Amino acid sequence: MSALSGKPLPPVAWEVAVASLLIGCRLWIYGLAFVAQDWFSILCAFWIFSALGSRSRAWPYVAGAVMSGLLILYGWRQLPLVWAALGFSP
């Protein structure tokens, strides 16, 4: 509940607060250099955008860009490990 009006906060405000808190915790624990390339922090930022701007016309393009970026991030970090596990590393 909001202390000023006595009305409960809307669900969007709670979603933004929780996602911001999760990003803040990751930032505090790992630092800015890690959080900028952290998939969890990217998803939390997308969560904030989707809570605030899900009705905008840019939402599908932002969703596609975030999902493509996460796929690239996954491939960049995981494919060398996969190749090494399969014995294809130089």
pLDDT by residue (tens digit) across 30-76?
988 888 889 999 999 999 999 998 788 988 999 999 999 999 999 98
Residue 5 has pLDDT above 70, yes or no: no
Pairwise CA distance, residues 34 & 28, whole Å: 11
Residue 4 has pLDDT above 70, yes or no: no
Here the tokens at position 64 are: 């596609």
Which residues 6+ apart lie within 8 Å of 40 measured at CB? Answer: 22, 26
